[in-house]
Structure 1
Amino acid sequence: MRATIDGVLLADTDREHIILIEGSRYFPADSLTIGTLKVSPTPYVCPWKGQALYYSVETPHQEYIDAAWCYPHPKRSAIETVGHNFTGYVAFDTTRVVIE
């Protein structure tokens, strides 16, 4: 699966490496294109997953604020509920990022 925005590749991995959580596809960190994500200061805490880390996506055309996020230290109970350790996996806002 590939995640792109403005024709820029953000992530690319085989479907079996994707973790689906609440309708969002989470890509492993090693599938990300280096230099496309910039840490955002936006705070967010999910009641069941824990503290999120947001990213802005930078392309040659535009910056997309908070278009991606991950859970660097998800709650153990969330990992157990999901059935996979999704620490550091990155999801994208599908209203702006194309995933195919």
Structure 2
Amino acid sequence: MAKAMWKGTVLAESDSYELVEGNVYFPPDSIKWDFLKMTDKHTTCPWKGLASYYDVTVDGETNKDAAWTYLEPKEKAVHITKHVAFGVGITVEK
């Protein structure tokens, strides 16, 4: 079971996650969407494609661009389509 937490709040929890380049990608149905809000930030990975970012907000405190997803990844990364990974400040246990 993988779990993402920030400030004592569970953001995602799943047995069926994908591990890519050391990051746990949680399936969309395991995400607590009330804590995430999409931002305007995007980055590009040469083999995964365009990443879209989310702010994570818990108890009125926001962790900017702390999660990301590939909504329409390139062919080699289709297995993580719409999955969400968490970054700076977010604790991910597996």
Q: TM-score scaled to structure 1, two decimals?
A: 0.86
What letter corresponds to residue 88 of structure 1 in structure 2?
K
Q: Distance in 1 between matches of 2:66 and 2:77?
A: 22
Q: How many residues of Structure 1 are paired with residues of Structure 2 in the alignment?
A: 92
Partner of 2:67: 68
Q: Distance in 1 between matches of 2:41 and 2:10?
A: 23
Q: Distance in 2 between matches of 1:69 and 1:96?
A: 14
Distance in 1 between the 2:36 and 2:53 partners? 9
Distance of 1:24 and 1:34 partners within structure 2: 19
Q: How does 1:23-38 map to 2 (within 5 A)?
A: 23-38=22-37
Task: State the secondary structure of the residue aligned to 2:29.
Answer: helix
Corresponding residue for residue 92 of structure 2: 99
| Segments ≥4 residues shifted beyond 6 Å | none
Measured in 2, the distance between the counterparts of 1:34 and 1:77 equals 26
Identity of aligned residues (%): 40
Q: Looking at CA atoms only, which structure, 1 or 2, has the larger radius of gyration?
A: 1
Structure 2 unpaired stretches of 5+: none
Q: TM-score, normalised by structure 2?
A: 0.91
Cα RMSD (Å): 1.1
